[in-house]
A and B are shown apart, each in its own frame.
Chain A
Amino acid sequence: MPNSFAWGRSYIIIGVATNPMAQTPFTNDIRTLRFLAGEMTQGDLGDKVGVTRQTIAAIEQGRYSPSLEVAFRIAHVFGKPLEAVFQWTANAG
């Protein structure tokens, strides 16, 4: 599902909206996993991971690359391996 951005033109790569100004070389399934985890909010996930709601939103929309620690924490919250949450896109980066 495409997301909207305050800055720059948005376009879609493999289902995740990205911004040409701040494009991460991977996609993620956080939004789906949150939905499957009882419609967990970004704020709830942020509280569990130890980051702000805005940071979760930025990660989810592909505007921010989290540290390895935060990526693992997110995966841990959903009880999934890292690659089930984040997927490297071969043609990006």
Chain B
Amino acid sequence: MSFREKIHWIALVGLLSAFGWYFLSYPWEIANSPKGMYTAVWMLLPVTIIFLVPMVAGAAFFAIRSPKDADLKEDEREKGIHLRGTYLAYYPLVIGVQLNIFVLINGFNYGYAVTILIATLVVAELIRVGSQLYYYRRGY
């Protein structure tokens, strides 16, 4: 398994843990209020820590274990995998933004808007990282 693939696995686990906690812990009963919006924004602080700490620790661990792999530049196959994943993630991003416009027009504001934007990013990232991992396993 290449260094980048390992980092992708850590990112996937980090995304699922951090945002899994966020969506399960968010107080949905106050979502449509200013307090709901501030809560959503403040909850991003622990989410960032839960996501970043394992990423940095994992990257450092694997870089120390195999520095040669960590120094390698992306080759053509990895660039292709990178581009395909980003391309696939574009569609949920567009759908999420449209959904956000729809809920804003229909009176769901504050926490709902922030949470839907976060969900959009998370789904797009999960599709990007997940598809890249799939392509890494498949070959391309």
Contact = CB atoms under 8 A, between A and B. Distances in A.
Interface string A53-81: 11100100101111100100000000000
A14 interface: no
Nearest to B80: A64
Given A52-B2, A54-B2, A66 B76 contact: yes
B131 to A, nearest CB: 13
Contacts of B69: 52
Interface string A28-60: 000000000000000000000011111100100
Interface string B113-140: 0000000000000000000001011111
Contacts of A19: 138-139
Interface magnitude class on chain B:
10 to 19
B138 A21 contact: yes
Contacts of A6: 137-138
Given A52-B2, A54-B2, A22 B138 contact: yes
Contact of A61 (B5, B72, B139): B139
Contacts of A7: 134, 137-138
Interface of B: 1-2, 5, 69, 72, 75-78, 134, 136-140
Interface of A: 6-8, 19, 21-22, 50-55, 58, 61, 63-67, 70
Given A52-B77, A58-B140, A61-B139, 10 more contacts: A19-B138, A51-B75, A51-B77, A52-B75, A52-B78, A53-B2, A54-B5, A55-B75, A55-B78, A63-B138
24 contacts: A6-B138, A7-B137, A7-B138, A8-B138, A19-B139, A21-B138, A22-B138, A22-B139, A50-B75, A51-B76, A52-B2, A52-B72, A52-B77, A52-B78, A54-B5, A54-B136, A55-B77, A58-B77, A63-B140, A64-B139, A65-B140, A66-B76, A67-B76, A70-B76
